[in-house]
Amino acid sequence: MEDLYPMIFRRYSARRFSSHLAEKDQERIQLILKELTPLDPKAAHEFVLGPSKGRGDVSINLYMKDREPASLLQAGFLLEEADLALEQAGYGICFLGMAKAEKGLEQKDGLVFLMSLDCGQVLKESFRKSPDDFTRNYINDIWAGEFNPEIKQAARLSPSAINSQPWQIISSADQKKIEVFRKRAPFNPIPDETMRFFHFVDLGILVSHLKIALDHFKIPYALEAVIGPEEGRLTRVAVFTLA
Ligand SMILES: Cc1cc2nc3c(=O)[nH]c(=O)nc-3n(C[C@H](O)[C@H](O)[C@H](O)COP(=O)(O)O)c2cc1C
């Protein structure tokens, strides 16, 4: 898989598409999906292409073991790598968090439907040109501690459902440890279970951006998904331990 770091600064959620995907595009998309590197290679997943559930041309439907936080984290991680790799190849992508499985396709090979990415052709000019084109929280509101500012920026630009950015990152004083937490809003009009579903996918996306940025700067690390007890406002979900 090529370096996806530059795409972190150019990606966007496509909601307008230009023309139809040819058969060879669908084959190319399948090849890109096959090359992804899951967070846990032992966790089973499957991508199935089907008719678009949004405004694109096809939907890329992800199936995982279950809808528990550990699987949702894996899903977000995979979907974001897919998002960046497909955008790098020139396709327009949009997460469809509310997408339902087509009738009769709720399960596949013992896995359950989780979420879709909408995909289609877009114009080259549609991709973002600079971090100023993103609407995101300030870096100091999401990251506590000193660290490489470019890696902080890559984390900050992560997409999330309804742009809720439900994360807190803490780097240790010696910069040898990066801890990633889910941050719950004190009040949310959306039901807790729905938010919980989206948030763990969002956190998988953030972990993917951090991994891609650390790899880009050739900083060695060990990455561990560790979902802590869901009490209070912060739940730990992952730790990067730097060499
Ligand atoms: C888990 C998840 C679910 C999403 N669901 C939808 C959706 O159902 N429809 C939609 O138009 N956008 C959806 N989005 C896109 C977000 O609204 C978008 O990522 C966010 O507003 C930030 O904008 P950007 O991706 O252009 O940077 C979703 C994003 C994520 C990460």
User: Ligand 1, residues 160, 197, 198, 208: which to mutate, most atoms within 8 A of Cβ?
Assistant: 160
Question: What class, spelled out in words, does domain 131-242 have in CATH?
Answer: alpha beta
| Predicted local distance difference test score (pLDDT) of residue 15 | 96
Beta bridge partners of 242: 221
26-30 long-range contacts, Cβ below 8 Å, gap at least 24? Answer: 26/58, 28/89, 29/58, 29/60, 29/86, 29/91, 29/119
- pLDDT-derived band at 188 (thresholds 50, 70, 90) equals confident
Question: 194 CB less than 6 Å from ligand 1?
Answer: no
Q: Atom of ligand 1 at shortest distance to CA of 201?
A: 1
Question: 162 CB less than 6 Å from ligand 1?
Answer: yes
Question: 201 CB less than 6 Å from ligand 1?
Answer: yes
Question: 147 CB less than 6 Å from ligand 1?
Answer: no
Residues 225 and 75: their CA atoms lie apart, in Å, by 13
Q: Confirm if 41 and 168 have CB atoms less than 8 A apart.
A: no
Q: What's the whole-model pTM score? A: 0.98
Closest CA to 202 of 169, 153, 166: 166
Q: How far is the CA of 231 from the centre of ligand 1 (A)?
A: 26
Q: Is the predicted pLDDT of residue 186 greater than 90, yes or no?
A: no
| Predicted local distance difference test score (pLDDT) of residue 191 | 86
Q: Per-residue pLDDT tens for 194-210?
A: 999 999 999 999 999 99
Q: Is the predicted pLDDT of residue 1 greater than 90, yes or no?
A: no
Handedness of CA 154, 140, 186, 189 (dihedral sign): negative
Q: Per-residue pLDDT tens for 61-115?
A: 999 999 999 999 999 999 999 999 999 999 999 999 999 999 999 999 999 999 9
Question: 98 CB less than 6 Å from ligand 1?
Answer: yes
Say whether 131-242 and 5-126 share the same fold.
Answer: yes
Mean pLDDT of 16-24: 92
User: For atom 31 of ligand 1, which residue has the closest CA?
Assistant: 160
Taking the domains of the chain in order of start, what are their residue ranges?
A: 5-126, 131-242
Pairing verdict, β 107-108 and 111-121: antiparallel
**What integer best gives the mean pLDDT of the chain?**
96
Q: How far is the CA of 2 from the centre of ligand 1 (A)?
A: 24
| Predicted local distance difference test score (pLDDT) of residue 187 | 82
Q: Is the predicted pLDDT of residue 19 greater than 90, yes or no?
A: no
| Predicted local distance difference test score (pLDDT) of residue 185 | 85
Q: How far is CA 230 from CA 32, 197, 237, in A?
A: 35, 13, 10
Q: How far is the CA of 103 from the centre of ligand 1 (A)?
A: 24
Q: How far is the CA of 81 from the centre of ligand 1 (A)?
A: 15
| Interior/surface letters 83-102, b for 16+ CB within 10 angstroms, e for the rest | bbbbbbeebbbbbbbebebe
- pLDDT-derived band at 189 (thresholds 50, 70, 90) equals confident
Q: How many Cβ atoms are within 10 Å of 191's Cβ, its own excluded?
A: 9
- pLDDT-derived band at 161 (thresholds 50, 70, 90) equals very high
Q: How many Cβ atoms are within 10 Å of 222's Cβ, its own excluded?
A: 9
What are φ and ψ of residue 47, in 5° steps? -105, 135
Q: Is the predicted pLDDT of residue 3 greater than 90, yes or no?
A: yes
Question: Any idea which architecture 5-126 has in CATH?
Answer: 3-Layer(aba) Sandwich (3.40)
User: For atom 7 of ligand 1, which residue has the closest CA?
Assistant: 96
User: Ligand 1, residues 7, 83, 95: which to mutate, most atoms within 8 A of Cβ?
Assistant: 95
Q: Per-residue pLDDT tens for 6-17?
A: 999 999 999 999
Q: Per-residue pLDDT tens for 47-56?
A: 999 999 999 9
Question: 13 CB less than 6 Å from ligand 1?
Answer: yes
Q: Alpha carbon 134 to chain centroid distance? A: 16
Question: 205 CB less than 6 Å from ligand 1?
Answer: yes
Q: Per-residue pLDDT tens for 127-147?
A: 999 999 999 999 999 999 999
Mean pLDDT of 171-185: 97
